[in-house]
């Protein structure tokens, strides 16, 4: 399957899932996850309309940044505090803030760069040991602390659901995320503008959108299987 065909299929499914949740396709951002993908293939996707790209490693954003102009970058993977300084002037949204320490470092670097940074708080909904993200029961407390940092704007929540061959099994996590999102939104915290629920990947994005996701992060579904050998 070509990238164009893959994108057509995703567009149809997104349209359908958006309708099921009372929304339109245009209410959902398709974030193309370009990790491990080479520049020519990413450019194909960009030409087909993918103008926002997600990477999970700082180094990979830095390598691709100048080669792919006219796009916006999202950092979606675990971020080490010592790497924040390299991307603070390059990314539109950091999806993976899961500690106050990381929030403070982003805030400090933003102060120097004289900007503010939009962030999502990453929640480990299923409590998987291998995954980063704050525990669901600690998410509100973390948001309250992060909301004291003037250089950050909390834009919502992000989760990476478990891989499950039956995507329907993740519906419970997406529902809980939406509830948590609504509760935090209702707190009306400073430096907070709860707009985005980043959840759903190739395997489960339709279920995620049905439950309220407005950003889906899709890699394999667009570019095909990743090759980590290179």
Ligand X SMILES: *Cc1c(COP(=O)(O)O)cnc(C)c1O
Interface residue list for ligand X (CB under 6 A): 33, 35, 56, 76-77, 160, 201-203, 217-221
**Residue 54 near residue 31, CB atoms below 8 Å:** yes
If the CB atoms of residues 94 and 189 are measured against ligand X, the closer one turns out to be 94
Q: Closest-CB residue for ligand X? A: 219
**Residue 157 near residue 121, CB atoms below 8 Å:** yes
As measured in angstroms, the least distance from the Cβ of 74 to ligand X is: 10
Task: Quickly count: other Cβ atoms within 10 Å of residue 163's Cβ.
Answer: 12
As measured in angstroms, the least distance from the Cβ of 200 to ligand X is: 9
As measured in angstroms, the least distance from the Cβ of 220 to ligand X is: 3
Retrieve residue 99's tokens. 């500690």
If the CB atoms of residues 33 and 153 are measured against ligand X, the closer one turns out to be 33
If the CB atoms of residues 77 and 136 are measured against ligand X, the closer one turns out to be 77
Retrieve residue 130's tokens. 């291998």
If the CB atoms of residues 21 and 36 are measured against ligand X, the closer one turns out to be 36
Distance between CA atoms of 215 and 62, rounded to whole angstroms?
23
As measured in angstroms, the least distance from the Cβ of 223 to ligand X is: 8
Distance between CA atoms of 21 and 212, rounded to whole angstroms?
7
As measured in angstroms, the least distance from the Cβ of 79 to ligand X is: 11
If the CB atoms of residues 147 and 181 are measured against ligand X, the closer one turns out to be 181
CA angle 3, 6, 7 (to 5 degrees): 85
Length of the chain: 230
E strands within the chain? 29-33, 52-55, 72-75, 91-97, 117-122, 152-158, 192-198, 215-218
Selection from 186, 181, 185 nearest residue 159 by Cα: 181
If the CB atoms of residues 144 and 162 are measured against ligand X, the closer one turns out to be 162
As measured in angstroms, the least distance from the Cβ of 188 to ligand X is: 28
Distance of CA 114 to the CA centre of its chain: 24
As measured in angstroms, the least distance from the Cβ of 105 to ligand X is: 20
If the CB atoms of residues 160 and 189 are measured against ligand X, the closer one turns out to be 160
Distance between CA atoms of 36 and 199, rounded to whole angstroms?
21
């Amino acid at each position: 399957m070509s990238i164009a065909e893959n994108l057509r299929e995703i567009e149809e499914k997104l349209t359908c899932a958006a309708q099921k949740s009372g929304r339109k396709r245009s209410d959902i951002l398709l974030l193309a996850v370009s990790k491990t993908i080479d520049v020519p293939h990413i450019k194909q996707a960009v030409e087909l309309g993918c103008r926002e790209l997600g990477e999970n490693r700082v180094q990979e954003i830095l390598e691709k940044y100048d080669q792919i102009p006219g796009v916006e970058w999202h950092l979606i993977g675990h971020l080490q505090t010592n790497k924040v300084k390299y991307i603070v002037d390059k990314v539109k949204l950091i999806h993976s803030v899961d500690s106050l320490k990381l929030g403070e470092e982003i805030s400090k670097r933003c102060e120097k760069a004289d900007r503010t940074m939009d962030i999502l708080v990453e929640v480990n909904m299923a409590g998987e040991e291998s995954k980063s993200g704050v525990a669901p029961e600690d998410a509100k407390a973390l948001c309250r602390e992060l909301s004291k940092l003037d250089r950050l704007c909390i834009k919502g929540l992000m989760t990476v659901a478990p891989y499950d061959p039956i995507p329907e099994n993740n519906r419970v996590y997406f529902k809980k995320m939406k509830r948590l999102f609504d509760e935090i939104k209702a707190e009306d915290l400073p430096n907070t503008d709860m707009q985005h629920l980043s959840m759903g990947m190739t395997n489960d994005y339709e279920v995620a959108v049905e439950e309220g996701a407005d950003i889906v992060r899709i890699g394999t579904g667009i570019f095909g299987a990743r090759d980590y050998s290179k």
